[in-house]
Structure 1
Amino acid sequence: MREGYILNGRYQIIRSLGEGGMANVYEARDLILQRNVAVKLLRLDLSDDQAAIRRFQGEAMSLVELTNPHIVSIYDIGEENSLQYLVMEYVKGMNLKEYIEQCSPIPYQRVIEIMEQILNAVSEAHANGIIHRDLKPQNILLDEQGNVKITDFGIAIAAAQSTITKTNTMLGSVHYISPEQARGSIITSQSDIYSLGIILFELLTGHVPFEGQTAVSIALKHYNAQMPSVREFVADIPQPLENVVLHATAKKLTDRYKSAGEMAVDLRTALQPDRQNEPRWQPHSEVDQETQILPRIDPKQIVNEKPTTTMEDEDDKVKQTSKKVTKKVNDKKSKPKKKWSKKKKIAFTTIGLILLAIILFIGYVLFSTPQNTTLPDVAGLTEQQAKQKLMKAKLEIGEITYTNDDKIAKDHVIKTTPSANTEVREGASIDMVVSSGPQKQAFGDYRGQVYADVKSRLEKQGVTVRKKESYSDEYAKDEIIEQSVKSSKKVVLSSTTVTFVVSKGNESYSLRDLTNYTLKSVQDYASDLGLKLQINKEYNDTVANDMVITQQPSAGSDISEGDTLTVTISQGKDPAKEDQDDQDSYTSFTISVNVPFQPTANQTSNKIQVYIEDKDHSLSNVYQSFDITNDTSITIPFVLEGNKAGKYKIYRDGQLVAQNDNVKN
């Protein structure tokens, strides 16, 4: 089911959580209650299996009654387009299998705490007549607080019912299967207890007790092999803890714990000091509970009968018995009929039943035993291609899990369990790990950081980094102002390109030559550029009152908003020298000349150059140079001796626009 699909107008699919033999599970959003949930969909190949549907729905209805805090809650049951689905509590965290792999060795007290929560949930389910049948660490979830949540209660029953002839019915769970499940006997609540004993074994040692290349070989070990000692793997495990494992995994039901509550009581006191010298637990009897005692047969009634040891011996035995029966029939035709005693009838009936059972068993072994095959290599194929290839090899699809991978493309197979080219039985269930693509992560906020440092870090992670520059009065030079990728966006770093806008600092300007500007003009200029203006005043014999004498920084210097501009303003002649000046024949005055602005296609300002000739200046030298962007009135000061005339020339972009060779006061 694709991401974004809205099931029944309410549950929006977010992502796949996994696939199993019975159903596929997705994380979804409940659009009405605004919460995340887990949606389990019955597999398409079971959509027409009425028995599977009835059990799917029936078990789900019974689970609604379970309100144990350690059992995943069922919220809703429904059907859409012939798809049966369950809506369950979504548990954010990991399953117990992942926890064991990440945290082993686990402290014994924590092991007991986890098992007590599991036993509490199983005990309530058993009290309500529900047997899990598929207890394994993959079906036990741990939330972010470390609390247990068991899932798939009852669903395993439906899976077993509808896939009873498939080998993969037990492969995914065969490491935790009870002896009675392995041999097809009636399953009871004690079957769950055996599985709990295996889970406890794995919690203590970090691995399961029995391994093998096929489901059948592992199942046979559960049926026949002695349970390994946990103390052989971890020597300091307390004997009472091992005793709980042995008691829970006893082959005989009469030796096993009768209930989950009984196991919980024993486990709860396993670390108490008064049990530290407890001997190793032993079953009450080594006689297998399943052994059947046949009625005693009179040896005189069986001639030359020997124990059967091989299939060939059984075939010979059947032939010999057939000959005897034929001989007896022929004898009957030639001899008078005799009445058989009741004792003889029972003996021959028993022999016949034994022979029939032997023949059926031989036939079953010959025709039902799967053949060996080599597991094909499906790594790198798409999930669908891998499924087709495995099914073509007469193999079943087991559990499919998804994980991030930087090298394998999304929806392509990373590996299988067992691994490729392993010899397996036809019909074996093959688990697959499928790539969900490279790991995504939030890109992060880099504003305010130094661009060079950020660029170096990100390029090491495969990010393509680009740069734009801009002036800023908020960020210092070389600091990042903006980024093209949002900080919260989840990306694959190795395939991400980002553009950073980097600060060039405050925008700078070329400072004008303010000589002979009036105080008011200087104040306006400083205000327009955001400059701090510092004014000094002094007497000057040549610069008219209220005009700029000098400036700091000098004309042409770069200056930015907030910088300080210092100007010295003339106060005119020193009063102490006025009398002396009056005696002189020099005349000081100013004139104003209006210069019109002339824009062009290639420029937005005009360069103005002013030349004057008076007592202190010569036409051969530029008196003043500046730019204008609109019509401007230029004030020109003159100091003339006697009746001499002054001169001026004004150039705009190199062309003479104003001239006067006879300037007088």
Structure 2
Amino acid sequence: MDTTVADPLVGQVLDGRYRIESRVARGGMATVYRARDLKLGRNIALKVMHQNLAQDDDFVRRFIGEAKAAAALSHPNVVAVYDQGTDGHHVFLAMEYVPGRTLRDLLDERGRLGPRTALEILQPALAALAAAHRTGLVHRDVKPENVLLTDDGMVKVADFGLARAETASKQTKTGLIIGTVGYLAPEQVVSGHADVRSDVYAAGIMLFEMLTGHQPHQADTPLAVAYKHVNEVVPPPSSAIPGLPPQLDVLVTRATGHDPARRPADAGQFLAAVTDVHATLPPDIDHRLQNAPQNVTSVLGHAPPPAAAPHTRVYQQPDTLPPVARGSFMDRLIDTVTGRYALIAVGALAVVVLGWAVWYQVSGQYDSIPKNIIGMSAEQAKTELAGNGLTVQVRKGGYSNTVPRDRVMSTDPAPGTDVKQGTAVTLTLSKGPYPREIPDVSGKSQDEATQALKDDKFEVGAVHREFSPTGRPVPKDQVIRTDPPAGRSHQPDKPVTLVLSNGVQLPDLTGQPRQSAEQQLRALGLAVKVEEQEQDGKPPGTVLSQNPPGGTGVNPGDTVTLTVQKGRDCPWWNPFCGNGNNNDPNQIPVPTVLGRSVDEARNMLQGAGFQVDVRHQIGSGRVLRQQPANGNAPRNSPIVIWH
């Protein structure tokens, strides 16, 4: 995520509907934000055009037209366009939010991909392009940055048709060519014209890059790269990665032919060829080629320089291109290069192999990746590799039951491989052991629970205490729950917290009527002992004190002693109640449950010896009234509560 500068749009709501939450990326044409669609309650990607383009009326008109065409394109491998609009001087596009990363991110991480992996990414991308081509829509900006890889393994292509709005607008005003230079077809460089076969060319360049880890045409300036697209053929990828099957060379060279008529007619035709080649690849080819050395020299006879500006856009008037880029001379040159292609490739490859072998024997600039690097910390591994003249990249990997968290679980190239000094070695760090379900240790003692967790290879962390819930009382010093809870997947090397019971929290009953206090205690599973004494100014039957006091933790079955004022608290209407005696053994006190939850009230009343009739009033979940509300009632008689 691009967070290098504060963005004034973050936090704003566009069109009264789209709340911008964070900036994702900034490109040459627009800035992309993660936003929330307040109307539909979903996350979206919001592409907001840069101010200089938003003020160009011709661009805005074309942009709206292209956005409508893209919105009509429905395909599972296409990033959906939901809406287009303006808010003041902001012109924006609302699109499907795709969590994950781009193909560019993957290439930056891995360098290059195996043949099967490359074709398995290219196939759905071509399926998306084919759907667009069938409707007459040309993408015009096919590149790894516009191929999105979702968290659940889907491949989606973004930004359909948007390059046309920008290109057409700029050409109308200044005659400039705009495009991502590393993927421009020759006809786009020469005339600015693009059709479905231009998308095929860009897809062929993208396949070359996935297989080799770099673009076929590289130079110090964008103009020089564009010149090479016009005047040099794309070499076969096997010239850079020996051992690649020849059918992959055919896919690349056919798709990147200078003459559009000699390329596959559209993405659908290219997809069919890619699918056929994928079916012929051995299942283990990616593994076999994982550590294949990459040629120092390309088929064109020069070492690929560092990527100077592969993702920049080139702004160049056609009239300033070198003369060789236009007219019949260019056509003759293309024919010449094409006709001698095989001879050049074989000769150059022989020179490459011979030069590489001599250099390897003479220079002594190769070293081995240490075999003991697995299990080292990242810092240890960096120090070890730096001492061998190698550079290091680090990435998070997967789970491992043998390599501890944040230790090296694999390297690319693999340990023991001979590599040139200065080579970048990717360290993959372990995320720790595979997650497993936490066992249920509720009701166990601390020692029993600790042992049960250790038996399942979990680490026990902190121990907390709290009062037991009244609805499910847990005795003192037994486990109420774990954090994370039982059944949750959790990595064994991350600690599990035990929560122990302090018992049921005893309520403060001082000042309450005796019968209500007794019933509350019995509902908690406690035994009650009553002692009477006299205290001036207190009504008969009032609780004067209790032992243990309120707030104490007790276990079910414990005895609580209530000291009450002499005399029974009697309602005026109860003829059986007087002087602290109840003359009818079938009449028992009714506890007051007003304000309690329905479950609490039911437990208290049933614990006191009554049936419970629950009735709906407003559905508050709390008891609003009861009948009878206090006094005595026959044992097992119904008490009606409303909530």
User: Could you say whether these structures have the same fold, taking a TM-score greater than 0.5 normalized by the shorter chain as the test?
Assistant: no
Higher Cα Rg, which structure = 1
- State the TM-score, normalized to the length of structure 2: 0.44
